[in-house]
Amino acid sequence: MKKRILTGLKPTDSQLHLGNYFGTVKPFIEMSETYKDAEIFLFLANMHAFTELHDAQALRQNSLNILKLYAACGADLSRYFIYSPADVPGHAQLTRVFDCLTIMGTMERMHSYKEALDKGKKWEISVGTFCYPILMAADILLYDADVVPVGKDQKQHVEYARDMAQKFNRQYGETFKVPDVSIRDEVAIVPGIDGRKMSKSYNNYIGLLDDEKTILKKVKQIPTSVQTVEESKNPDECNVYKITKLFLTAEEDAALRKRYLAGGLSFKDAKDHLYEKIISFLKPIQEKYAKISDKEIITLLEKNAKIVNEIAKKKIDEIYAKIGFKLA
Ligand code: ADP
Ligand code: TRP
């Protein structure tokens, strides 16, 4: 059987930023090139996004945008099983089973819940947020995934899914594959225009769909030190350099570092250079994005929902028989 790699994309925002691109999209595309023979399940974690996003139009459009952006960045969507768990009843069905096999103490130790507790009162947190990892375990175990690539923050959730698989297998006999978690290297923490981690929540990001005017404005906003043009500058202390570096080859990087250290490079020139780099990187992505219609994505989702439903239904039948839901 082919190796199965599975991961979910949470459509909480209308677009992605450079941090998402270098931290998630690019590594995903590279990984799928490495594992050419694997079956890749790339699904919309819209049922997870619903824990925080209750605007129907936004949830729908974000879901389409994120897949269009992946395609525009070079992901060949026809190679993956892309689908929405909302089209596959198995996700909700398996969630119910795991709900009843999980004690509250386990969920109370989960990141997602603790993060929600940090932000507000216990009684204001939705049950969906509390049970977030349970749905995630269902997403994974329903398809007997071999490997689950995620960011560091999701490691605990995949470990819970592994525990659940083992617990169920012990109690009801061998049913689920115990998946491996693959944590994306944190090699590229992309800084935002204020020097902190680029993030939607800090509003310090450069979006993949930002227009030229917006990008120019944001690049101009990057704070720099007060130094004369002639002075030698330390590239590692310059946020303009740190962002520019993302777009450079090793040789280009070495040359730029030399220019910083030699003196004679103005921050205005450094910013103009960064602006050019961002524009030439984003232009083809934005052009490709504009050519992909919502309809294309919807057609792909519908086609895959049928295939994926068959896999999920078989698994649910097996589980339901084992736990005593099947009467005949
Ligand atoms: P945000 O912080 O903007 O809300 P998300 O938490 O939605 O971003 O990020 C989704 C994924 O994108 C994360 O799991 C992480 O792997 C990646 N990511 C986000 N911001 C960055 C960044 N600044 N540098 C590297 N990777 C990032
Ligand atoms: N919770 C994940 C995130 O925030 C998204 C997700 C949902 C997921 N279900 C999953 C990832 C299953 C991997 C496997 O990024």
Per-residue model confidence as pLDDT tens digits over 54-78: 999 999 999 999 999 999 999 999 9
**pLDDT at 151 exceeding the cut of 90:** no
What's the gap in Å between 318 CA and the centre of ligand 2? 24
The torsion defined by the Cα of 49, 93, 181 and 308, in degrees rounded to 10, comes to -90
303 and 275 both lie in a single domain: no
Is 31 found in the same domain as 47?
A: yes
Average pLDDT score, the chain: 96
Q: Which domain holds residue 311?
A: 4-190+293-323
Nearest CA, atom 2, ligand 1? 199
How far is ligand 2, taken at its centre, from the CA of residue 133, in Å?
9
Domain assignment present for 304: yes
Q: How far is the CA of 19 from the centre of ligand 1 (A)?
A: 6
Whether residue 222 has its Cβ less than 6 Å from ligand 2: no
Q: Is residue 196 one of the residues assigned to a domain?
A: no
pLDDT at 188 over 70: no
Nearest CA to ligand 1 atom 9: 20
Q: How confident is the model at residue 186 (pLDDT cuts 50, 70, 90)?
A: low
Distance 139 CA to ligand 2 centre (A): 8
Q: How many CB atoms lie within 10 A of CB 150?
A: 19
Is the same domain home to 78 and 92?
A: yes
CB 112 within 8 A of CB 132: yes
150 lines ligand 2 (CB under 6 A): yes
Q: What are phi and psi of 41, to 5 degrees?
A: -100, 110
Whether 10 is in the pocket of ligand 2, judged by its Cβ within 6 Å, is yes
Domain count, the chain: 2
- Give the residue, out of 7, 14, 20, with the most ligand 1 atoms within 8 A of its beta carbon, to mutate for a pocket test: 20
Query: Are both 43 and 92 inside the same structural domain?
Result: yes
- Provide residues with CB under 6 Å of ligand 1: 19-20, 22-24, 151, 184, 188-190, 197-201
Atom of ligand 1 nearest to the CA of 189: 24
Query: Percentage of the chain with pLDDT > 70?
Result: 99
Same-domain check for residues 249 and 310: no
Q: Specify the residue with its C-alpha closest to ligand 2, atom 13.
A: 7
pTM for the model stands at 0.93
CB atoms within 10 A of CB 107: 19
- In a shared domain, residues 156 and 280: no
Are residue 282 and residue 304 in the same domain, yes or no?
Answer: no
Residues 300 and 282 in one domain: no
Contact (CB, 8 A) for 222 and 18: no
Averaged pLDDT for residues 73-94 = 97
| Atom from ligand 1 closest to the CA of residue 10 | 7
pLDDT at 167 over 70: yes
Are 88 and 154 part of one and the same domain? yes
Instruction: Please tell me the distance between residue 288's alpha carbon and the centre of ligand 1 in angstroms.
Output: 23
Is 11 inside any structural domain? yes
For ligand 1, the distance from its centroid to the CA atom of residue 49, given in whole angstroms, is 15
Whether 205 maps to a domain, the answer reads no
DSSP 195-235: SSBP-GGGT---BTT--HHHHHHHHHHS------SSS---G
Residues 154 and 41 in one domain: yes
Whether residues 164 and 246 share a domain: the answer is no
Whether residue 112 is contained in a domain is answered as yes
The gap from C-alpha 11 to its chain's centroid, in whole angstroms, comes to 9
Q: Separation of 321 CA from ligand 2 center, angstroms? A: 28
Q: For the domain that residue 244 is a member of, what is the CATH number?
A: 1.10.240.10
Q: For ligand 1, atom 4, name the residue with the nearest CA.
A: 200
CA distance readout (Å), 189 to 112, 192, 196, 206, 271: 21, 9, 10, 14, 20
Residues 6+ apart with CB under 8 A from 27: 149, 184, 185
Regarding whether 80 and 102 lie in a shared domain, the answer is yes
pLDDT of residue 169: 98
Provide the CATH number for the domain around residue 41: 3.40.50.620
Instruction: Classify residue 207: in a domain, yes or no.
Output: no
Q: Residue 240 domain-assigned? A: yes
Is 202 inside a domain boundary? Answer: no
